[in-house]
A and B are shown apart, each in its own frame.
Chain A
Amino acid sequence: MRVTFTANGKPVEADDVWEGESLLYVLRERVGLPGSKNACEQGECGSCTVYLDGTPVCSCLVAAGQVQDREVRTVEGLTEESGELGLVQQAFIDAGAVQCGFCTPGLLVQTDALLDNEPQPSDNDIREALSGNLCRCTGYEKIMDAVRLASARKCAKAASE
């Protein structure tokens, strides 16, 4: 089948899609957006998290056909048009929250969504919001730091605007 949808603001079209393919597979293997990661492909690890019409979802659990005419935003879409890093992306680097980095794309999208809903989350809020995103390298401490840093920067930015 053919699937057409919007990815990071641009129209994309994938041909010869087998009906059993996931959105994750289509993104990674058919439309050149491999940023979303394939760690478990059964909705347990959060590495493949993308926005679907503004809501974070595990793209491995979304059938390709379900995204017809819908809007997808991936980790690649968190980077500014200019190529500059988004605020959450920069915070993860600065805080040392990236080691192997395989969990990072999913965590970035989930954190972005968290801070959109709650710009100043408590530690327990952060832990709850990110509890569906596994990380095996960091022990999460620097991820906590990164989210706190992103929150502080986001609030400072909002205050200065």
Chain B
Amino acid sequence: MSTRTIQGQKNLQDIRTSSPDGIGGSPLRPDGNLKVKGEFAYSSDMWHEDMLWGMALRSPHPRANIVSVDISEALKVPGVYAVLTHKDIPGTKFYGLEIQDQPALAIDKVRYHGEAIALVAADHPETARRAVKKIKVEYEVLTPIVTEEQCLNPGTYGYVHEPHEFKSHGYDNICHEQRLVSGLGVTDEVRALADVVVSGHYEVGMQDQAFLGPESGLAVPSEDGGIDLYVATQWLHVDRQQMAPVLGLPEEKVRLTLAGVGGAFGGREDLSMQIHASLLAMHTGKPVKIVYARDESFFGHVHRHPAKMYYEHGATRDGKLVYADARLVLDGGAYASASPAVVGNAASLGHGPYVIPNVRMHAIALYSNNPSCGAMRGFGAVQAAFGYETQMDKLAAELGMDPVELRQLNAMSEGDRMPTGQLIDSPAPVAELLQRVKDMPLPPPLDLENLDVRAIPGALSNTSHGEGIVRGIGYSVGIKNVGFSEGFDDYSTARVRLEVIGGEPVAMVHTAMAEVGQGGVTVHAQIARTELGVEQVTIHPANTEVGSAGSTSASRQTYMTGGAVKLAAEAVKQALITKGRRRYGWIHDDIDLVGGKVVSESAGVLVPMVDLLGEEAIDLTREHHHRPTVPFDKVTGQGFGHVQYTFCANRAVVDVDVELGLIKVVELTAVQDVGKALNPLSVVGQIQGGCTQALGLAVMEEIIVKDGKVRNASFTDYLIPTILDTPPIPVEILELPDPHAPYGLRGVGEAPTVSATPSIVAAIRAATGIALNRIPVRPEHLTGTL
């Protein structure tokens, strides 16, 4: 609880300071005990008497016509209960987050490697696997449309979605497009104003969320003909909204309960097994469990858009930016998923946290026969940050300036405007973040005399004794938005109940928020404690019995659903105080709930909450809406499009074995403004986790796709950072309150994932002098073999 001072009421002071578990404290996770005991029920742990196992047949081809599907042999396998194709779908056959362009099961054609074609329900996963293999599909294999050149020339190479079936707002093979012009734009006259111009082509590989808990869940048919689904997701209500029409059910008969979620990072924003398990359960009348194996998980969710980008910056001799130009081509793959919103983010955030008088931007997402791409932590801002931050380093080198000073010289701050015209109307301490990260102490230099090989590039492989190691240091800063943008009202709902249980006032918080590991449940309890002056708070399981909480994405949950919990708790508090006024005739206007008591600043303790509550429970629900935004103008990109901005700055210290092309990140420092740290332990955990995913993108993580086929769908071949790859990550947090946000907080989770990657690449460049215009950086990029 905050340290509000109370004059003349020492007894109140004691009560007020008694709870370290309100906001600003770091109480332990309410689900922590179950998680360390192995008793927390994740979606893959669901079990039901007589349940069946569901499995999908997936396409081995990225583009093909389906000539025929023969399920007869599969149906004969003993233990098989159902084999379904799109013909068995009772409702509409398409779904999608923003555009309903994806068939729940392929209809007559497949558009990506791994697209689901048929489903099996059987008594054992191995039975299901064998039955899947017995489904005979005859394909007419077509040449996949996979390169930018192919996508942009449909007359020659064909359409991913034929014009008559095209559903998105784009055209041809363009799923979505956003242009932006501000100032004078970028013309020959504007270019002539610059003393120095730097430009470059940059490329970002396809990153995977690689959450550890595979897509999974249990669908249970209910007596009313509906479905109860226990599932790991990021947004229960939008799952239901997409499922119900396909299942041919009214939404109220599709009831979702959040099962334990083993990480998400955007990869659970789209549906995976939800419709499939439900269809099988409805068809067989039995509970059906689906658990993806890791290879299927790589096919079962969308990825981060790979990008090809062109950037050009002009500046004066003294380093002031004159103009910036960019073209971003994001590969959205076969289906739209969140591509339109990702494009909006890339276009509006793609010039970084800098004040640039003249700007032009053109961002597109392609339809292709590559894997579908959509939401991943950083959401359109990550790719661009690699582009503009590489440009800042190039420009600094061209001008002979310190790269941090160049950034500070052009850094945006409160009162400036985004290239979209949106006023930055809360703190934007970009220059300060950079200064602080620069001022943090550096790690000691490599000590070749007392070398532990585990701490150098190559580590346990014992590849060298450090002969070829060069150390480099790099800096970067990034910008991310918080919450859904462009006019979307992603409100959150919270229900708070206050009652006496076992002689104590107890608050219960009920939301549909998907706890995916971020610690939202901890924060909800903290908010209830602070607002209601109670110690005991229980968190109701998240389900669709309460209104939507929006998605656990866009760094928005503490802001949005935390804000809803605050509103509901404030309403409960007012209701309790009103009850007291009616009963006791209180006239004080300074009544608060503190330490389980109703108190007055002037009159001291009025009554214990338990006495006032008695047998009654106060149970109220509130919605929290953020301030309205508007869509960006299609031509100029102008508009108040984002709810809030968030910034992080990083410094990377990297050792590079320049002979072997091996990298060891020695330290990755982060400084971030979080507005208000509701739970500092969790905030630091988010920043460190976000930095580590950025490290992965910088030096190792990429889904390799060749001719539309995924080549590394396993943790053997798709590498994510281990504890040996990950360095110490010192974090400093600033708390500059945003007046528009609950408690002044700023969303935390994504900014470091946006900002940290370029600092690591900059450090490798500093060590090697190699340009490195593509991430992830691989050994062959450093040894000259590529």
User: Which A residues are closer than 8 A to B by beta carbons?
Assistant: 18, 20-21, 28-29, 33-42, 44-45, 47, 74-76, 78-79, 85, 89-90, 92-94, 96, 98-105, 108, 124, 126-128, 130-144
Contacts and interface: CB of A to CB of B under 8 A. Distances in A.
14 contacts: A35-B38, A37-B42, A75-B36, A75-B37, A78-B36, A96-B681, A98-B29, A100-B213, A100-B516, A101-B260, A102-B213, A136-B212, A139-B726, A139-B729
Given A96-B26, A143-B723, A136 B211 contact: yes
Contact of A92 (B36, B126, B685): B36
B689 A131 contact: no
Given A98-B35, A104-B36, A130 B294 contact: no
A136 B36 contact: no
A135 B723 contact: yes
Nearest to A97: B685
A140 B36 contact: no
Contacts of B693: 136
Residue among A21, A37, A99 with the highest chain B CB neighbour number at 10 A: A99
Contact of B293 (A21, A41, A79): A41
A109 to B, nearest CB: 10
B261 to A, nearest CB: 6
Nearest to A126: B723
Nearest to B265: A136
Contact of B28 (A93, A103, A136, A142): A93
Contacts of B516: 100
B29 A37 contact: no
Nearest to B264: A100
A132 to B, nearest CB: 8
B748 to A, nearest CB: 13
B452 interface: yes
A108 B36 contact: yes
Q: Which 5 A-B pairs have the closest CB atoms?
A: A35-B38, A100-B517, A102-B262, A101-B35, A139-B688
A39 B212 contact: yes
B478 interface: no
A41 B86 CA distance: 30
Contacts of B414: none
Given A40-B294, A75-B37, A89-B37, A102 B42 contact: yes
Given A136-B720, A140-B723, A102 B212 contact: yes
Interface string B720-733: 11111010110000
B32 interface: yes
B32 A98 contact: yes
A143 B720 CA distance: 16
A98 B692 contact: no
Contacts of A137: 263, 517, 685, 689
Contacts of B715: 39-40, 42, 44-45, 134
B460 interface: yes
Residue among B689, B723, B724 with the highest chain A CB neighbour number at 10 A: B723
Contacts of B209: 136
Contacts of A102: 42, 211-213, 262-263
